[in-house]
């Protein structure tokens, strides 16, 4: 018998995740009841991870008898079409273990060790913040021994492991909820870095501390990005992330950013969408040149998130395509899953990139292989008055006897722009025939 496993994420086709998302979409309509979806393992060898918006990652394998099926009749009647798979939550198999920092405590200086133990004993957030600030102050003192950096990072990562479970973004986004979400003890490291001058001697030590923390707990990378966006104290200091990236073992802004966005994509899609506008505007050279980040985004967003991103684009908050690289990215997208492609074209069309810029993509579009791109382009081309370049590109597509794209668009143009089309086609034929003009005597 097959084991019920939590799954989704990158190993499933994007289309299956879309199904999961659209089912989840409808199933989370009544926030009071919490539901999860389980997918039966399709193949033993494919490893699957659960999209954390639905389930906590620590849950492992369940025996199929534990899953409880239910038919919630009233919900089925109400828009029954959209509520086809629903399950009641089953008991969490995760047992909360108290933080164990003994392996590293003895590697700390006495003063630091004492503070860390104090931190361990404190349970309320406010006192934890106070003690954490004292830890940070110790780090920045001149006599702080950098040898203990790694052990200290391990202690903190272990003590604050709960911080890295669950969603980062508050359910309801308001100024208050955002401020509260960035007032956790871990965030004190960020706050100190953000309020300090970079030439302060403590700055680089604290940054090294953060880089060390990153080794133990990679999620702190996107937590930093979130802090820089969400916190009023951080206002406009997104460049701190660049300093951080350079301080890490990766040492490179682009690599670090892509890794952190990937981790964010796997853990928290809402957060990914929340961060997207700032990431693109603060780091254009790291994001606009390739389809890497775009692919991460379109692989996981649902229709509502897509529509929200499109609104951001139209309001000018978000630019995902640049004239010099857009054609290249769209060509890359031709290898992606169906929904990733449709989402890409929707996002592209929300920008005001002139059609001429991407017209050369026509030469790459093969019948049956690229129906998504062909459909979207068909709808755009039909609205345009045909230019010579467009006609040339349309006529230069690979031929296939069942392929009606070329006939459709030419016929449509013929019905509306008869003369113009005729001229362009004539020009193309002349060029193709390459006949030298006879001189008039």
Binding flag, residue 46, a copy of itself (CB under 8 A): yes
Binding flag, residue 11, a copy of itself (CB under 8 A): yes
Residues 6+ apart with CB under 8 A from 412: 382
CB 38, CB 88: distance < 8 Å: no
Binding flag, residue 399, a copy of itself (CB under 8 A): no
Binding flag, residue 78, a copy of itself (CB under 8 A): no
- Pick from 6, 8, 9, 18: which binds a copy of itself (CB under 8 A)? 18
Query: The tokens of 78 are what?
Result: 């109400």
Planar angle of CA 15, 261, 22, nearest 5 degrees: 25
**357 to 396: interface string for a copy of itself, x by CB under 8 A:** -----------x--xx-xx--xx--xx-------------
Between 15 and 195, whose beta carbon lies closer to a copy of itself?
15
Binding flag, residue 297, a copy of itself (CB under 8 A): no
Q: What is the CA radius of gyration of the chain?
A: 27
Interface positions, 129-168, toward a copy of itself (CB under 8 A): none
Between 16 and 205, whose beta carbon lies closer to a copy of itself?
16
Scanning 64-72, 108-116, 135-143, 233-241 for contacts with a copy of itself by CB under 8 A, the matching segment is: 64-72
Binding flag, residue 303, a copy of itself (CB under 8 A): yes
Give which of 157, 159, 71, 95 is closest to 122, Cα–Cα: 159
DSSP-derived secondary structure for 253-318: HHHHHHHHHHHHHHH-HHHHHHHHHHHHHH-HHHHSSSSHHHHHHHTT--HHHHHHHHHHHHHTS-
Shortest reach from residue 46's CB to a copy of itself, in Å:
7
The C-alpha atoms of residue 392 and residue 396 are separated, in whole angstroms, by 6
How far from the centroid of its chain's Cα atoms is residue 24's Cα?
Answer: 18
The C-alpha atoms of residue 364 and residue 14 are separated, in whole angstroms, by 23
Binding flag, residue 64, a copy of itself (CB under 8 A): yes
- Pick from 81, 232, 437, 438: which binds a copy of itself (CB under 8 A)? 81
CB 349, CB 380: distance < 8 Å: yes
- β-bridge pairing 4-5 and 39-40: antiparallel
Shortest reach from residue 10's CB to a copy of itself, in Å:
10
- Pick from 30, 33, 40, 252: which binds a copy of itself (CB under 8 A)? 40
CB 352, CB 326: distance < 8 Å: no
Planar angle of CA 109, 114, 119, nearest 5 degrees: 125
The C-alpha atoms of residue 20 and residue 85 are separated, in whole angstroms, by 10
Between 132 and 362, whose beta carbon lies closer to a copy of itself?
362
Residue 40 CB neighbour total at 10 angstroms: 11
Q: How many residues form the binding site for a copy of itself (CB under 8 A)?
A: 63
- Pick from 31, 32, 44, 434: which binds a copy of itself (CB under 8 A)? 44
- Pick from 104, 191, 337, 386: which binds a copy of itself (CB under 8 A)? 337
Between 102 and 352, whose beta carbon lies closer to a copy of itself?
352
- Pick from 117, 243, 328, 346: which binds a copy of itself (CB under 8 A)? 346
The C-alpha atoms of residue 205 and residue 136 are separated, in whole angstroms, by 10
Binding flag, residue 308, a copy of itself (CB under 8 A): yes
The alpha-helical segments, DSSP class H, found in 317-387 are 326-333, 338-350, 355-358, 371-381
State the distance between the two ends of the chain, measured CA to CA, in whole angstroms. 89
Binding flag, residue 177, a copy of itself (CB under 8 A): no
Shortest reach from residue 432's CB to a copy of itself, in Å:
24
**407 to 426: interface string for a copy of itself, x by CB under 8 A:** xxx-xx--------------
Residue 90 backbone zone (phi > 0: left; psi -120 to 50: alpha; other: beta): beta
**255 to 294: interface string for a copy of itself, x by CB under 8 A:** ----------------------------------------
Q: Which residues are near a copy of itself by CB under 8 A?
A: 1-2, 11-13, 15-16, 18-19, 22-23, 40, 42-46, 64, 69, 71, 79, 81-82, 84-85, 173, 302-304, 306-308, 310-312, 314-316, 335-338, 342, 346, 349-350, 368, 371-372, 374-375, 378-379, 382-383, 402, 404-405, 407-409, 411-412
């Amino acid at each position: 018998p097959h084991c019920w496993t939590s799954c989704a994420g990158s190993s499933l086709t994007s289309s299956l995740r879309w199904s999961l998302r659209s089912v989840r979409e409808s199933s989370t309509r009544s926030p009071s009841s919490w539901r999860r979806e389980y997918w039966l393992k399709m193949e033993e060898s494919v490893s699957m991870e659960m999209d954390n918006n639905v389930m906590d990652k620590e849950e492992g394998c369940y025996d199929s008898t534990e899953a409880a099926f239910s038919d919630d009749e009233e919900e089925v009647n109400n828009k029954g079409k959209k509520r086809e798979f629903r399950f009641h939550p089953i008991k969490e198999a995760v047992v909360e273990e108290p933080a164990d920092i003994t392996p590293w405590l003895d590697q700390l200086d006495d003063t630091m060790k004492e503070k860390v133990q104090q931190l361990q004993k404190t349970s309320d957030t406010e006192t934890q913040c106070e003690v954490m600030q004292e830890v940070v102050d110790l780090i920045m003192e001149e006599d702080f021994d950098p040898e203990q950096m790694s052990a200290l990072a391990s202690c903190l990562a272990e003590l604050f492991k709960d911080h890295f479970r669950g969603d980062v973004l508050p359910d309801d986004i308001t100024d208050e909820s955002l401020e509260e979400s960035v007032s956790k003890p871990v965030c004190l490291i960020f706050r100190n870095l953000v309020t300090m001058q970079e030439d302060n001697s403590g700055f680089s030590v604290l940054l090294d501390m953060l880089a060390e923390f990153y080794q133990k707990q990679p999620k702190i990378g996107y937590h930093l990005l979130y802090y820089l966006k969400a916190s009023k104290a951080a206002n406009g200091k997104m460049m701190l992330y660049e300093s951080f990236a350079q301080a890490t073992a990766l040492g490179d802004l682009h690599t670090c950013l892509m890794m952190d966005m990937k981790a964010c994509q796997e853990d928290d899609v809402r957060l990914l969408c929340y961060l997207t506008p700032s990431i693109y505007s603060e780091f254009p050279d790291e994001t606009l040149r390739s389809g890497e980040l775009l692919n991460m985004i379109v692989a996981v967003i649902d229709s509502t998130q897509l529509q929200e991103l499109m609104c951001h684009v139209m309001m000018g908050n978000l630019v995902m395509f640049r004239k010099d690289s857009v054609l290249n990215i769209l060509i890359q997208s031709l290898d992606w899953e169906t929904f990733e492609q449709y989402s890409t074209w929707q996002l592209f069309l929300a920008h005001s990139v002139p059609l001429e810029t991407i017209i050369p993509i026509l030469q790459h579009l093969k019948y049956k292989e690229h129906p998504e791109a062909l459909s979207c382009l068909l709808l755009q081309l039909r609205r345009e008055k045909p230019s010579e370049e467009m006609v040339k590109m349309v006529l230069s597509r690979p031929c296939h006897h069942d392929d009606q794209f070329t006939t459709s668009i030419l016929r449509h143009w013929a019905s509306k722009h008869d003369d113009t089309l005729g001229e362009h086609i004539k020009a193309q034929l002349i060029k193709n025939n390459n006949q030298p003009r006879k001189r008039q005597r």
